[in-house]
Amino acid sequence: MLSRSDLTDVGRIDWAYRLTLGRAPEPNETQRASAFIAEYESTERDVLADVPKVKPAAPKAAPAPVAVASANATADGRRRPTL
């Protein structure tokens, strides 16, 4: 829905009602949904304003390869004969 830049919040509310309920919203439903969106956006701005700005961490180096012992190898690394 947010990708539709041609729609306003009221247009998105109308679209959401039609998709989910199969009908247009009543005027009071549009008003309640608009108030909810406005309150949500305000709260989001307040919360994000309190979040400290942090630099992204540098990427970690890949772990070193690990040698895997074979069940068919002897202690000195030679292969045991298979039966």
Note the pLDDT tens digit of each residue in 51-68. 777 788 888 888 777 766
List all residues 6 or more positions away from 14 whose beta carbon is below 8 Å from its beta carbon.
Answer: 24, 25, 30
**What is the average per-residue pLDDT within 27-36?**
96
**What is the average per-residue pLDDT within 28-51?**
90
Please state, in angstroms and rounded to a whole number, the distance separating the CA atoms of residues 83 and 71.
Answer: 13
Structure token pair of residue 59: 């990427």
pTM of the model: 0.52
Give the total residue count for the chain: 83
Please state, in angstroms and rounded to a whole number, the distance separating the CA atoms of residues 21 and 29.
Answer: 12
Domain segments of the chain: what residues? 9-50
State the number of CA atoms in the 13 A half-sphere of 47 facing the CB.
6
**What is the average per-residue pLDDT within 12-26?**
95
Position 56 scores a pLDDT of: 80
